[in-house]
Structure 1
């Protein structure tokens, strides 16, 4: 059973009426809202939160906002790039960049040395970047994964997805990726 209620929102320019549809089913109440751009009824989690709105959410759904922002970015790309360059030069951003770099270097002392060694070896032809991920077999631009930064050229070549799974994944697939990578490193040693 769906119950519709109207909330009247007063803005500076106009007085708008907003339709909030509440569905009662199985004891739960699911709230949805109608987007003022596309006119579709969508659940509230499809709208960005906004504390100044009557129901706490924007009147435009996330997909319409993303479309609008994409168009705006294409139309104003030079202006946006100029702004990004200026923002990157602010004192706050410089401090943040310095902090993040020093933190990463502190956590992994030899990271940069290993990265540079791989890049030099690739450039000189000492090693060749494979076209396929050693974990899942997908054809892509592979990334070098070091198990131990003391051995700069001993790497497993992975696709971006497998590499991210190895480091941050908590799923069964991530565990499987770690086991596969560990077995590849064990084969390299023996």
Structure 2
């Protein structure tokens, strides 16, 4: 430490310049705002589907569109654009999870029916 400076500041990192700090905070705020608006759009789409099902404008099938399993399927949105809120694919929980785990693959083109007989390629 130089003479005249109290030991109080020993080991402290210097603060980032004010302009850099303001820019960083603005970027963080904009990123959070974008994330919040996407989240709100997803919730609006879910609400639209739930309301349409409740009023009978949209019919929830009794089986999964991919594997055919009898269940209460979940609506999967391929897009959250307002015009496509009611454009959902009805998937069981298992197929819905698979869709989200493989974002680069269009699951509409995959045969999801698994060999349940146990006579696989083993």
**Cα–Cα, structure 1 residues 106 and 176, in superposed 2: closer, same or farther, change >3 Å?**
closer
50, 54, 58: which is aligned to 1:127?
58
Alignment of 1:25-174 (within 5 A): 105-150=36-81, 151-169=84-102
Q: Deviations over 1:84-141 (max 9, x none)?
A: xxxxxxxxxxxxxxxxxx7863444510110000010011111111011111111111
Normalized against structure 1, the TM-score is what?
0.35
Residues 56-109 of structure 1, C-alpha deviations (whole Å, 9 max, x = no match): xxxxxxxxxxxxxxxxxxxxxxxxxxxxxxxxxxxxxxxxxxxxxx78634445
TM-score by length of 2: 0.53
- The equivalent residue for 1:77 is none
Structure 1 vs Structure 2 CA RMSD: 2.8
What is the Cα deviation at residue 155 of structure 1? 0.6
Unaligned runs of at least 5 residues, structure 1:
1-101, 182-190
| Inter-partner Cα distance in structure 2 for 1:104 and 1:141 | 29
* Runs of 4+ in structure 1 over 4 Å off: 106-109
SS at match of 1:110: helix
Runs of at least 5 residues in structure 2 that lack an aligned partner in the other structure: 1-32, 112-122
Is the partner of 1:122 in helix, strand or coil? Answer: helix
Q: How many residue pairs align between the two structures?
A: 77
Call closer, same or farther: CA 1:127–1:167 in 2, change over 3 Å. same
- Structure with the greater relative contact order (CA < 8 A, sep ≥ 6): 1 or 2? 2
Mapped contact 1:105–1:111 kept (Cα < 8 A)? no
